[in-house]
A = this chain, B = another copy of it.
Amino acid sequence: MVTNDVVRYYHGLMKATVIAIGSELLGVQRLDTNSLRLTAVLDRFGVELIAKSVVGDNEEALVAELRRRAADSELVLVTGGLGPTADDVTRPATAAAFDRGMQIDEGLVDHMRQLFQSFGREMPEVNRRQAEVLDGATVLKNRRGTAPGQRLEAGDCTIFLFPGVPRELEAMIPDHLEPWLDSHAQNVGHGLETGVVKIACLAESAVEERIAPAYERFGRENISVLASPGDVKVYFSARGTEAKRRAELDEMRRVLGELAGDAVYTDRDDDVLETVVGRLATDAGKTITTAESCTGGLVAERLTRVPGSSAYYLGGIVSYTNELKMQLLGVPESYFVDHGAVSEPVARAMAQGVRSRYGSDYGIGITGVAGPGGGSEAKPVGTVHMAVAGPGDDDVEHRKVRFPGGRDRVRKQASQLVLDLLRRDLVRRS
């Protein structure tokens, strides 16, 4: 790549900061998520993100922020504020912060005018502002919108101005940021990469306890645990050249997998539990049906989120009433009288009923008290009976659990546990 840039080499880690511009990002409805996309790229190139901030559409505040961040870091990534209206202060603020002039680039104006024409519209005069280029800056073409980006050098710092619209920013990353990092971030040998193991139905504290030896061995700062109801993700990172860090990640994955044991359902970032169940069912050539009460269709919905699930999922029943449990699943009326709708016999009968009536290898049955109403002393809110029937006629596994939390958490945890029971059965037989 031939450029007029002064190429600088950073022998330590290059330090970067990210600034998101927009008063809407200071409200209660929105968070800046663009910075996560940028962070992933910085990580990969071994650039250290030392701070990120959000500033409103206020020129004075942005001038101060730009100067401070440029003093702290060698790379400042700015998103947003490149629109055509008076609110959009990124261009003038950057000019003021680094004492630059700005000129309208008539070539850019023509290009924008053509863009508008291609949508059958006249370019509003106000959009000319988007063609203001800072003195000494390089224009960064935006193939998904009218606002071009810019890159400029100020002292020891390189500043990128990017559009804030996520899909426009997404295109700017491979078009402009990655090529620049590739030729300037000479610390690529410090590249950071992250792996994950995902664990179903263990408490966060239980996971922490199991993986404690890995903290010792690989360093606590390189392992982090993220928990959501019924699901714990253990992320681990390694730094170095690609070969070195890959080898280390493989070792971490192996060790963490051994420590966490058969509770690990995947080490692929894009897998969720239902993807794994789907893959195992496909490989085994087994089919699944579901009979749900308290989860109200959540298990069916999760199974069918997976593309191609029609290959192994036949269908299911959401039986919110006892009548439907009898009519559609063949649960004997006496069970309701003798044990109640939330009971082991009913869960078993639901699983067996849906399996045998609708001709699948596996049948799932769930009945419980999701709350907030419906609890009793004997069966408090959170009590759930789950059963997985199959693949043999006499195989039925049952679990009774009392889940903590509100309706939403109870339903999530119940769906997670029953899918994990099914996963474990498929694994055992594979």
- At the interface with chain B, which of A119-127, A148-156, A202-210, A299-307? A299-307
A327 to B359, CA, bound (A): 12
Instruction: Known A-B contacts: A297-B297, A324-B358. Give 6 more (CB < 8 A).
Output: A26-B50, A28-B194, A297-B318, A298-B301, A314-B320, A315-B321
Of all A-B residue pairs in the complex, the 9 with the closest CB atoms, nearest first, are A296-B304, A297-B300, A297-B297, A53-B53, A297-B301, A315-B324, A316-B318, A315-B320, A300-B318
Contact of A318 (CB < 8 Å), options: B29, B56, B318: B318
Residue A224 at the chain B interface, CB threshold 8 Å: yes
Q: Which of B53, B303, B317, B319 contacts A51 (CB 8 A)?
A: B53
Q: For the complex, is A114 an interface residue (Cβ under 8 Å from B)? A: no
Interface residues of A in 150-192 (CB under 8 A from B): none
Give the distance to chain B from A130, nearest Cβ to Cβ, in Å: 19
Q: Which B-chain residue is minimally distant from A328 (CB atoms)? A: B328
Point out which of A39, A49, A315 has the most chain B C-beta atoms below 10 A from its C-beta: A315
Which chain A residues numbered 332 to 376 have a C-beta less than 8 Å away from chain B?
A: 358, 371-374
The interface on chain A, measured as residues whose beta carbon lies within 8 A of the other chain's beta carbons, has a size of 70
Q: Cβ of A29 and Cβ of B226 under 8 Å apart?
A: yes
Cβ contact within 8 Å between A304 and B318: yes
Contact assessment for A24 and B224 in the assembled complex, using a CB-CB cutoff below 8 Å: yes
Known: A36-B28, A61-B50. A296 touches B307 (CB 8 A): no
Given contacts A26-B49, A224-B27, contact A296 B309 (CB under 8 A): yes
Cβ–Cβ contact A51 & B61, under 8 A: yes
Knowing A298-B301, A301-B298, A310-B320, say if A53 contacts B50 (CB, 8 Å).
no
Question: A242 near B: Cβ within 8 Å?
Answer: no
The yes or no answer to A235 lying at the interface (CB within 8 A) is: yes
> Are B320 and A235 neighbours in the complex by a CB distance under 8 Å?
no
Q: How far is the CA of A72 from the CA of B40 in the complex (A)?
A: 31
Closest-by-CB residue of B relative to A15 is: B61
Interface residues of A (CB under 8 A from B): 23-24, 26-33, 36, 39-40, 43, 49-56, 58, 61, 64-65, 68, 72, 194, 221, 224, 226, 235, 290, 292, 295-301, 303-305, 307-310, 313-321, 323-324, 327-328, 358, 371-374, 407-408, 411
Q: Does A307 lie within 8 Å of B372, measured CB to CB?
A: yes
Q: Which residues of B contact A300 (CB under 8 A)?
A: 296-297, 300-301, 318
Interfacial chain B residues near A319, Cβ < 8 Å: 315
Task: Write out the residue numbers on chain B whose beta carbons fall within 8 Å of the beta carbon of A328.
Answer: 315, 317, 328
Partner of A56, one of B31, B32, B50, B53: B50
Report A92 CB to chain B, min CB distance, Å.
18
- Tell me how many chains of this kind the complex includes: 2
Q: A296-B303, A307-B407 are in contact. Are A52 and B26 (CB under 8 A)?
A: yes
For A316, what are the chain B residues with a Cβ–Cβ distance below 8 Å? 297, 317-318
Q: A297-B316, A318-B300, A324-B314 are in contact. Are A28 and B40 (CB under 8 A)?
A: yes
Contacts of A320 in B (CB 8 A): 304, 309-310, 313-315
A374 to B297, CA, bound (A): 23
Residues of B within 8 A of A309 (CB): 296, 320
- Indicate if the CB atoms of A55 and B51 lie closer than 8 Å: yes
Which residues from chain B contact A318 at a C-beta distance below 8 Å? 290, 297, 300, 304, 315-318
Q: Which chain B residues border A30 with CB–CB below 8 Å? A: 226
| Distance of A353 from chain B, by nearest CB (Å) | 13
Contacts known (A50-B56, A297-B300, A304-B296); A33 close to B36, Cβ less than 8 A = no
- Can you report 11 A-B residue pairs in the complex whose CB atoms are below 8 A from each other? A27-B39, A31-B32, A51-B65, A295-B301, A295-B304, A297-B297, A297-B298, A310-B320, A315-B324, A315-B328, A318-B318
Q: Determine the chain B residues whose CB is within 8 A of the CB of A40 once the complex forms.
A: 28
- Taking a contact as CB atoms under 8 Å apart, the answer to whether B314 and A321 are in contact is yes
- Kindly list chain B residues whose C-beta atoms are within 8 Å of the C-beta of A194: 28
Given A297-B318, A314-B320: A52 and B54 interface contact (C-beta under 8 Å):
yes
Q: In whole angstroms, what is the CA distance A123 to B302 when docked?
A: 43
Contacts of A72 in B (CB 8 A): 61, 64
| Residue among A24, A61, A316 with the highest chain B CB neighbour number at 10 A | A316
